[in-house]
Structure 1
Amino acid sequence: MFEIAFDHGWLAGKGFSRERGRALLRLLEALARSGSLREAAQSAQLSYRFAWGLLGDAARLFGAPLVDMQRGKAARLSLLGRRVLAADERVRAALGAQFERLRAEIPPLLAEALPGARPRLTIHASHDLALETLRALCERSLELGLVVRGADESLAALARGECDLAGFHVADALPRAAAAAAALGRWLDPRKHTLIHFVTRQQGLIARPGSRIRGVHDLARPGVRFIHRQSGSGGRTAPERELSVAAAVADGHADAGFGLRADATRFKLAFVPLAMERYFFACAKSALRGAALKSFLEVLRSPRFASGVRRLPGYDSSQSARLEPLDAALTWVEPPRSQPHA
């Protein structure tokens, strides 16, 4: 079976191939987590000797070292190394949404000419780190077309019949939950649609280590630099906005910003939990009888999916595949009290 394999590779130079560029980026990301070249090389599936030579070649390519290494001290990314890693995050975020759309568009063009085609599901969904785990596990049993876009756009696409599932998240204690509630009421019909629980994830403050930021009240201290990316700001995609907050804090451009525990852990930043976000897929009730949705639910219930989600800090999959009515996404709202009759 063919696969649609797009390449995010961008780092290359004279005598420095794109394959070496990809290996360098894997090594830098591993070094940002471990601080040990030997451990980072093992994590990036490189030999220690190759990793050492790779850093030397990269220093000559850029004209400056990407890693500060001193005898007896942990290896740390230099400012240039951190900027290279941030540039890779920017490239992946900018190209990722385009690649996802193309992955969803190409299979239907070929489907009629392919023998033995698998059941197909088209998903329009807001960004989430667990989507990659889901797509990888669905490959054997489903043709999964995934388009990453805003929650409101995804729900609108489901209402228009342009996709089978619409993914969105609702925060239990943040004002923006009202936007998700409004989108549900605008696009979905409780008589026709239902929800599939995907994951929950921990949202909070991502803070610079040593900033002594332990809660929202600390943001009011003089001199605290807070970065906030409103949805849709600057034309950025959701993954780019989330990563830009964590990357900006890690790079010293801000002291704190809102984001996920998983992103804070990735950049070795402090994290103050504020709320749990629940991620749902909405679908037509009638679609649950189809082979594609049944296979999809089996993947969500599988131990392999639970194992993959456990590797994401702050994530939980204990309720995955649970079917719920639309108002399950609105349980954070207290029901209005009945007014006494005059």
Structure 2
Amino acid sequence: MRPPAASAKIAVLGAGSWGTTFAKVLADAAAAEGEPTQIVLWARRAEIAQEITHQHTNTTYLAETRLPDSVSATDDLAEAVTGAGVVVLALPAQQLRGYLPEIRQSLVPGVVVVSLIKGLERGTNLRMSEVIAAELGLPDEQIAVVSGPNLAMEIAREEPTASVVACKDEATAEQIAALCSARYFRPYTNTDVAGVEIAGIVKNVIALAVGMCDGQQLGDNSKASVITRGLAETTRLAVALGGKLETFAGLAGLGDVVATCASPLSRNRSAGRLLGQGLTPEQTAEQLTQTAEGMKSASAVLELAHRHGVEMPISEAVVAVLTGRLAVEKIATLLLARQLKAELTGDET
């Protein structure tokens, strides 16, 4: 299946672990269908772009994983975007808006922009699809989101996984799903963009909390409780924003929470563990090779929750640690702090 705008080129902007992995997925999906599709990665660093193009590896982020020959890279943003019928964004959430004006200049008519980004913009509290719509002036049917239990290294190793492609226009969601349907990567479609994005955003904050439990050497009961109640508060926020309850029983909700909170490959869980061991947020960031989006988005999540009158005690506790208002060794007693009530009330989980 051809990308929208009858183009045989797909641009993936961001050559970190997930952007590079998704480029591999797209290339493998196209090869399986016999489609001559060019996949162009944009890398901020010229040396990474050169390695991808000439050695077909990205050892900085994906070790020795071999990339298909149809994947090339450039450090020229306009070159990557020009002529692409699909533009995939795998950029840091807090930097996205700064790149979009330059991207807009090179977009072809009818382009579909796909976000892989799981973050909330600080200051505006906007989801990434909302930032894209505001800066690029695209209608809903030209903006899609990919989310789910998508740990990049496992997918790069071609370990089977499923994901969600969300777009308010079902036909566009199906079109993008077809483009990334590889032997080891199974996309499902969803029209609940708000729910899928909120799930992907808040699960990073919950993973920080689980990591803090780990760093404090708390047991599996504690971590399971945080995961379960974290999913409940994520659902409350999403429903308040117009998301659908059923989204959270699926891959973008429960699936992503489990993967991100349980896996040592999770950046946010790893960051939480370092925080739980007593490192400051600054020291933690220095230890990581890539951004832990939960550390960047947590305050925006909480502001959004307060604006809509949604209780999020776990997110409250995480933000208190990140801002220095709470010593991490005291977090255990606050993670489940909420008035006594029935677990299920009929209007929330």
| TM score, norm. by length of structure 1 | 0.27
- Greater helix share, structure number: 2
Higher relative contact order (CA 8 A, sep 6+): 1
- Greater strand share, structure number: 1
Greater Rg by CA:
1
